[in-house]
A and B are shown apart, each in its own frame.
Chain A
């Protein structure tokens, strides 16, 4: 028999186990204060969770350069060719790897990073490209796939983790991203312009004392109901309010202004700079998936001037972030990815622009699980085709997940039905992984 309806996913096992062990702890009397059990109580009664809290966890930082960054002005320069444009290639801290001179600070961190230079996603449409890179699947009418962040949050979020598992720091680009069949728990929590997420502040009319009183009364009601019937669902529901209280207590996690003045100065006043510092803060607080959107790279006109400007904003904060994560030991548990929906044409159009191009472009990876200072794949001399190691969004998606220890070839069990974690027709780029 091939049926696997018994819940085999890690999350199911964990939540079910913790539910049952919680029951066991309180088995003397089902109604004994379970509804009111706070995080502390939960941890005390559940050593499995307590030990998880001690351990650091893997996470992903994804930086999405919306509009499509030019690979020729960034990760795969082709100076002195018909397509190369005006900029030089400069050596980097990774021996043998050259990148565009527009990224001098990043160049000093390349020993932490790797470049995949051989993407051929066969697509030049913004919407489709975004869906493909973010879900690892070709866009399929009538089917919605979960966003990378949702897959990561679902796989890596601990049951007791009160902060959101999937945060989008939005500076332009699309809004909230969907968790599709994984459910609302894993949809992105959006920090628009770096502002704290919605509803993370008590209304002015609600005092802390009042909130505590009403929650205490809620807990009493829940205890009474638990004496009638208690299930994994009722426990999860009760616990979500405990977690909300815990999140409100940690609200300063969302406030980048709490970082030191020196750091704020170092990251600069640009929106992207502040977002990078915020991302560092969130990762330090163990948020499993953080995405920064940086917009806009859609340079059909004046490609070169625009890239000086955009990458000028990108370079220093990004390099700071990589260096800081490395210094603090966070790169050992954090995977960094810099992607776009596609690259830009080698051909320079008559307005000094470059157009949409999915045929031969690059993505940068670094940190946990990734070979440092390496290049995967190769484009031809003037960047018009992939010569070696051709891959696409599906392979990148698998690779990102594998790098943080998620089995991308496994399946999620949703309501008894299996859903592949990533496109089963693709697989990871094993050579990129450590």
Chain B
């Protein structure tokens, strides 16, 4: 059933030709004195007094020693890199980037200035530590989780604020992600505080297919929807049985209509089965099974009527003693596929793209960009007990994260070096391919053995109720036979008794009649008695044979019972025992994992070679065919970005855009102040009850929670225009541009009010100060000299339209590419 494939060697001949070309051209020798990068030089550490610097460096080293993950990530990325590695980004790019990624909003102008002016060598680490432990981090992660989990579905059932608060608190309290997922799957059965978690299922109406798809994608990174009705048409290793294995955990659950969609009910019975709409093949009984993972081989059983803690009813949510949903939740954390998916999603959250891309398409033919990196991260996710905050902190501390987004200049790229790499890689490609085939065979064999055992047991499971019915029927027949035998014996005894009595009576009456020979009456009576006696005696043999018949029937029934019981025993016996199944499954999972790993290794080398070939094609087209050269160059830059050698441009999410637009224009600060004032005026109970020294921290947390509610209206307008569904392609639409250009919302941000940006600019006479305030506020950087000059020219020219001109400048910066993307 498992169809195993591996990709054919990629047109090796043309590749080798390209490599030869590269080596003969030998572009860009390693001794080149040209600057390696176009713009944005890495920040030079400021000159400092030696002892102070030494102390700081020592502290930095100690921190580094505490955590090796960041270095291992960088090593793996850099070892696999083909071609240039971008230098570290500038401080202003960094402060903006890390603020957007960790808090969902650009930094305040004050924070930008403070950071740029800071001369400590470890200031980036300090900023990361500050941001990652801030309540803003919890707010931003809660928003990302909300969008990922609910996919912007219309709000119904559980109220949005309590759901958001649940996510916020989960992040703030460092709830491990596997626990979070358990709560999302099990919901309110874990306690009142996890009631909002039910929203994950209720927002999908707890409809088992919708839930199966959701969990397949979000927990396992596998979109199995196409495998619902048939094996996936495009993905070789998504089977209909994978879908239904997961579905078997979930299809007993439904929404309790009487609770207005806020409660989940679960049955204790019902098995999954399927038929392919294409082939008509199917399975009658699918055991619950994690995608590419463990099967629930044995489940507790209960006597009829004893299956429930709470029996389901129209108005009562059913709680079975053995819950399949809880079983899924329990198995989750140990699932390798879950760990890989969590690792991949955390990576995507920081880098804008998964190591496996798309996020929902983990399978053998879609290799991770860097297999070793994904393995490392999956191990770390497990070892660090699914610690989201810790993982993110490590990832943003990598050199990889902190690289510049600028495209390199072609003349700075060492193409000769790439050509040399290509030759070495071509050798490794052969070996990697050779390693795949035997592993594929053993995976197929292990899979076959497992499938056979499993389908046999499933067939037995389907047969067993029928066989057990046979035993019951045989036993009933036996009881009937025993009863019939008893009746026959009783009949015989009665008849024999009657016959004996009548025979005696006949003899006596005949003797009396002989003595009274003339008594005709007596003679007649004697004859009557005799005839009765004879008649009764004649029935005795029939009664006797009825008894022996009944005895034979009982014996046959006893045999039938024994046979039926033997059939059940035989079927039960024939089942592959649970331990054996578990061993077969383990062998299968291990073999498939090994084969997949080998295959991914091969594909990863092929991808690296592809980059080499693109480089060679660029070199050969460079002189003769500028259009092709340009296209190849763009492909190279894209490949380097995906490989982590250049920082990506990440479009801001609707939430980031709304909050950043407000912060840039100085409209966020009054919102925060309003929330603070509200909390001061009417502090909620926990704040009142808190110890004095704990109050500021708690208040800061409450402010961020309340800010979610405060910004909801504005965010909704941005979501309407910018979409922001997970996995969606980037789209720049006319509507978005019209919204930014002509909406009263954005126009309102440009009018002077309070201490907002327009007001601050209006209040400043000095064009250089205006330029600086404008650029730092909106773009989180100081303006360059020519930019200052341009602002000065605009203002000199403005006259009475100064206010209008300032609005134009703010708007222009807000709508610029530099603002739209995280760079």
Which residues of chain A have a CB within 8 Å of any CB of chain B?
A: 1-5, 19-21, 23-24, 27, 35, 140-143, 162-164, 181, 183-185, 189, 198-203, 205-206, 210-211, 213-215, 217-218, 220-222, 224-231, 233-234, 236-241, 243-244, 247-248, 414-418, 425
Contact = CB atoms under 8 A, between A and B. Distances in A.
A2 B366 CA distance: 10
B734 A243 contact: yes
Given A201-B742, A237-B820, A244-B737, A214 B808 contact: yes
Interface stretch (B232-240, B535-543, B681-689): B232-240
Contacts of A23: 630-631, 634
Given A2-B234, A203-B742, A244-B741, A228 B407 contact: yes
A247 B734 contact: yes
A224 B818 CA distance: 9
Interface in B582-619: none
Contacts of B747: 203, 205-206
Given A181-B728, A183-B725, A214-B811, 18 more contacts: A1-B236, A2-B233, A3-B234, A21-B627, A141-B205, A142-B209, A185-B733, A206-B747, A214-B807, A221-B813, A230-B407, A233-B730, A236-B732, A237-B817, A240-B737, A247-B738, A414-B728, A418-B234
Interface residues of B, number: 79
A225 B784 CA distance: 13
B631 A140 contact: no
B439 to A, nearest CB: 18
A27 B210 contact: no
Nearest to B744: A203
Nearest to B357: A416
A229 B823 contact: yes
B655 interface: no
Given A233-B649, A417-B727, A214 B207 contact: no
- Residue of A164, A185, A244 with highest tally of chain B CB at under 10 A: A244
13 contacts: A142-B209, A143-B225, A203-B742, A210-B804, A211-B741, A214-B808, A214-B809, A214-B811, A228-B40, A229-B407, A233-B730, A244-B738, A415-B727
Nearest to A223: B817
Nearest to A27: B630
A19 B732 CA distance: 14
A215 B739 CA distance: 14
B301 interface: no
A12 B406 CA distance: 24
A185 B361 contact: no
Contacts of B40: 228
Contacts of B207: 141-142
B39 interface: yes
A278 B734 CA distance: 21
Nearest to A240: B732
Interface in B190-225: 204-205, 207, 209-211, 213-214, 223, 225
A163 B7 CA distance: 45
B14 interface: no
Contact of A199 (B358, B741, B790): B741
B735 A417 contact: no
B721 A184 contact: yes
A414 B204 contact: no
B815 interface: yes
Contacts of B223: 417
Interface in B774-822: 790, 794, 804-805, 807-809, 811-813, 815-818, 820-821
B163 interface: no
B812 A215 contact: yes
Interface in B620-636: 626-627, 629-631, 634
Contacts of B820: 237
Contacts of B651: 233, 237
A119 B654 CA distance: 41
B204 A231 contact: no
A252 to B, nearest CB: 16
Given A199-B741, A240-B734, A415-B358, A226 B630 contact: no
B737 A241 contact: yes
Interface in B357-387: 357-358, 360-361, 365-366
B206 to A, nearest CB: 9
A210 B808 contact: yes
Nearest to B631: A20
B736 interface: yes
Nearest to A5: B366
Contacts, number: 201
A23 B626 CA distance: 10
Contacts of B204: 141-142
Contacts of A215: 812
B351 interface: no
Contact of B742 (A181, A199, A231): A199
Contact of B815 (A19, A142, A218, A239): A218
B606 to A, nearest CB: 12
B649 A231 contact: yes
B734 A164 contact: yes
B733 A184 contact: yes
Nearest to B779: A221
Nearest to B406: A228
B817 A183 contact: no
B630 A199 contact: no
Given A184-B731, A199-B743, A237-B820, A1 B725 contact: no
Interface in B639-692: 649, 651
A17 B723 CA distance: 25
B405 interface: yes
B211 A142 contact: yes
B126 interface: no
B742 A417 contact: no
Given A24-B627, A206-B747, A233-B649, A220 B213 contact: no
A210 to B, nearest CB: 6
B5 interface: yes
A229 B360 CA distance: 29
A234 B817 contact: yes
A181 B725 contact: yes
Indicate the member of A27, A184, A185 with the most B CB atoms within 10 Å: A184
B729 interface: yes
B722 interface: yes
Contact of A142 (B210, B738, B805): B210
Contacts of A243: 734, 737
Contacts of B357: 416
A183 B235 contact: no
Nearest to A207: B804
A184 B735 contact: yes
Contacts of A236: 730-732
B823 A199 contact: no
Nearest to B815: A218
B808 A1 contact: no
Q: Lowest 4 A-B CB distances belong to which pairs?
A: A142-B210, A244-B737, A214-B808, A141-B207
Given A4-B234, A24-B631, A162-B734, A222 B649 contact: no
Nearest to A7: B729
Nearest to A180: B725
Contacts of B811: 214, 218
B210 A141 contact: yes
Interface in B716-766: 720-723, 725, 727-739, 741-744, 747
A417 B235 CA distance: 11
Nearest to B207: A141
A324 B627 CA distance: 46
B361 A142 contact: no
B630 A24 contact: yes
B367 to A, nearest CB: 10
A18 to B, nearest CB: 12
Contacts of B233: 2
Contacts of B225: 143
Contact of B235 (A2, A199, A240, A415): A2
A224 B40 CA distance: 13
A163 B627 CA distance: 31
A416 B820 CA distance: 23
